[in-house]
Structure 1
Amino acid sequence: MKNTLLSVLLLLGIHSLCFSQAVYEDERYVPETDPLVLEKLSEWQDIKFGLLMHWGTYSQWGIVESWSLSPEEYGWCERKAGSNPGNYNAYKAEYEGLINTFNPTEFNPQKWAEAARNAGMKYVIFTTKHHDGFCMFDSKYTDYKITSPDCPFSSNAKSNIAKEIFSAFRDQGLWAGAYFSKPDWHVESYWDPKYPPRDRNVNYEPEANPEKWQEFIDFTHNQMLELVSDYGKIDIMWLDGGWVAKTPKNEITSWYDVQLKNSDNGYIKHRIVNQDIKIDEVVEKMREKQPGLIVVDRAVHGINQNYLTPENRVPEKELPYPWESCIISGGGWSHTKNAKYMSGREGVQMLVDIVAKGGNLLLNIAPTPEGEWQQGAYDLLSEYADWMAINSEGIYKSKTLAPYKENNICMTQQESGETYFFYMCEKEETDMPAVITVNSHQPAKGATVELLGYSKPLKWKKEGEGFRVMIPESILNKPPCDHVWTIKVSKLKD
Structure 2
Amino acid sequence: MKNLLKFLVVMLLTSNQVIAQAIYEDERYVAETDPLVLKKIDEWQDKKFGLLMHWGTYSQWGIVESWSLCPEDYGWCKRTKGTNPENYNVYKKEYEDLKKTFNPIKFNPEKWSKAAKKAGMKYMIFTTKHHDGFSMFDSKYTDYKVTDPDCAFSSNPKANITDEVFKAFRKEDMWIGAYFSKPDWNHENYWSPNYPPFDRNVNYDPDLHPEKWQKYVDFTHNQIMELLTDYGDIDILWLDGGWVEKMDQLKIDEFYGKKFSEVKTGSGFIKHRVISQDIKMDELVVKARKKQPGLIVVDRAVYGKNQNYLTPENRVPEKTLPYPWESCIIAGGGWSYTPDAIYMSGRQGIHTLVDVVAKGGNLLLNIAPGPDGTWQQGAYDLLNEYSLWMDVNNTAIYNTKPISPFKENNICFTQNKEGSVFAIYLVNENDTTIPKEITVTAINPSRGAKINLLGSNINLKWEKLENGFKVIIPESLRKNPPSNYACAFKISKVNN
Into which bin does the TM-score normalised by the smaller protein fall?
Answer: over 0.9
Q: Which of 350, 353, 356 is residue 354 of structure 1 equivalent to?
A: 356
Deviations 1:425-483 (A, max 9, x none): 11111111111111111211111100001121101111222111111111222110001
Residues 255 and 359 of structure 1: CA distance in aligned 2, closer, same or farther (over 3 Å): closer
Aligned to 2:84: 84
SS in 2 for 1:476: helix
TM-score by length of 1: 0.94
Counterparts of 2:22 and 2:410, CA distance in 1: 32
Aligned to 1:320: 322
Aligned to 2:33: 33
Aligned to 1:52: 52
Structure 2 letter corresponding to 1:348: I
Shift of 1:17: 5.5
Residues 15 and 176 of structure 1: CA distance in aligned 2, closer, same or farther (over 3 Å): farther
Bigger relative contact order, structure 1 or 2 (CA pairs below 8 A, ≥6 apart): 1
SS in 1 for 2:51: strand
Whether the aligned pair in 2 keeps the contact of 1:347 and 1:380 (CA below 8 Å) is yes
| Structure 2, unaligned runs of 5 or more | 1-10
Identity %: 63
Aligned to 2:127: 127
Aligned to 1:365: 367
SS in 1 for 2:24: coil
Residues 12 and 383 of structure 1: CA distance in aligned 2, closer, same or farther (over 3 Å): farther
Whether the aligned pair in 1 keeps the contact of 2:13 and 2:262 (CA below 8 Å) is no
Aligned to 2:433: 431
Greater helix content? 2
Structure 2 letter corresponding to 1:241: G
Deviations 1:296-318 (A, max 9, x none): 00000000000000001100110
SS in 1 for 2:364: strand
1:173 aligns with 2:204: no
Whether the aligned pair in 1 keeps the contact of 2:254 and 2:260 (CA below 8 Å) is no
Structure 2 letter corresponding to 1:279: M
Shift of 1:252: 3.8
1:74 aligns with 2:67: no
SS in 2 for 1:260: helix
Deviations 1:51-81 (A, max 9, x none): 0000000000000000000000000000011
Aligned to 2:205: 205
Aligned to 1:220: 220
The 10-residue stretch of structure 1 (380-389 or 470-479) with the greater mean CA deviation from structure 2: 470-479
Whether the aligned pair in 2 keeps the contact of 1:85 and 1:91 (CA below 8 Å) is yes
| Structure 1, unaligned runs of 5 or more | 1-10
Q: How does 1:33-432 map to 2 (within 5 A)?
A: 33-252=33-252, 260=260, 262=262, 269=270, 270-432=272-434
Counterparts of 1:403 and 1:19, CA distance in 2: 23
Count, aligned residues: 484
Shift of 1:12: 12
The 10-residue stretch of structure 1 (120-129 or 246-255) with the greater mean CA deviation from structure 2: 246-255
Whether the aligned pair in 2 keeps the contact of 1:71 and 1:77 (CA below 8 Å) is yes
Counterparts of 2:478 and 2:134, CA distance in 1: 53
SS in 2 for 1:296: strand
Whether the aligned pair in 2 keeps the contact of 1:18 and 1:262 (CA below 8 Å) is no
SS in 1 for 2:260: strand
Shift of 1:418: 1.1
Structure 2 letter corresponding to 1:325: S
Deviations 1:365-404 (A, max 9, x none): 0000000000000000000000000000011110111100
Deviations 1:131-166 (A, max 9, x none): 000000110100000001011111111110001101
Counterparts of 1:322 and 1:114, CA distance in 2: 27
Deviations 1:305-359 (A, max 9, x none): 0000000110011001000000000000000000000101000111011101100
Residues 339 and 38 of structure 1: CA distance in aligned 2, closer, same or farther (over 3 Å): same
Whether the aligned pair in 1 keeps the contact of 2:441 and 2:469 (CA below 8 Å) is yes
Residues 392 and 13 of structure 1: CA distance in aligned 2, closer, same or farther (over 3 Å): farther
Shift of 1:262: 4.5
